[in-house]
Amino acid sequence: MLCGSGNTIRGDRLDVAIGSGRSSRSLADRVGLLQTSLCVGAGIIAPLGFLPFLLVAGHVTPGYGHMASTFSDASSQGAPRPEFMIAGLSFVSVCLLLAAFGLGRCLPRGGSVVRASLALTSLSILMTAVFRDYNRSSWVPRNREGYLHNTFATIAVFSVLATILAISLALRSQDGWAHLPAPGLAVMIVVALAGLAFTWGPDSHDGLAERMLAGAAFSYLAWVSLTALALERGVSLRGALYCPYPEPRTAPLPVTGED
Confidence at residue 138, expressed as pLDDT on a 0 to 100 scale:
61
Every domain of the chain and the residues it spans:
30-233
Please state, in angstroms and rounded to a whole number, the distance separating the CA atoms of residues 176 and 153.
Answer: 33
Confidence at residue 30, expressed as pLDDT on a 0 to 100 scale:
73
Please state, in angstroms and rounded to a whole number, the distance separating the CA atoms of residues 75 and 79.
Answer: 6
End-to-end alpha carbon distance in the chain: 42
Confidence at residue 3, expressed as pLDDT on a 0 to 100 scale:
56
Please state, in angstroms and rounded to a whole number, the distance separating the CA atoms of residues 85 and 92.
Answer: 11
| Beta carbons within 8 Å of 196's beta carbon, 6+ residues apart | none
**Over the chain (259 residues), what is each successive 10-residue block's mean pLDDT?**
43 40 59 80 94 96 93 92 96 96 90 96 97 80 91 96 95 89 96 94 92 96 92 54 41 49
| Beta carbons within 8 Å of 223's beta carbon, 6+ residues apart | 180, 183
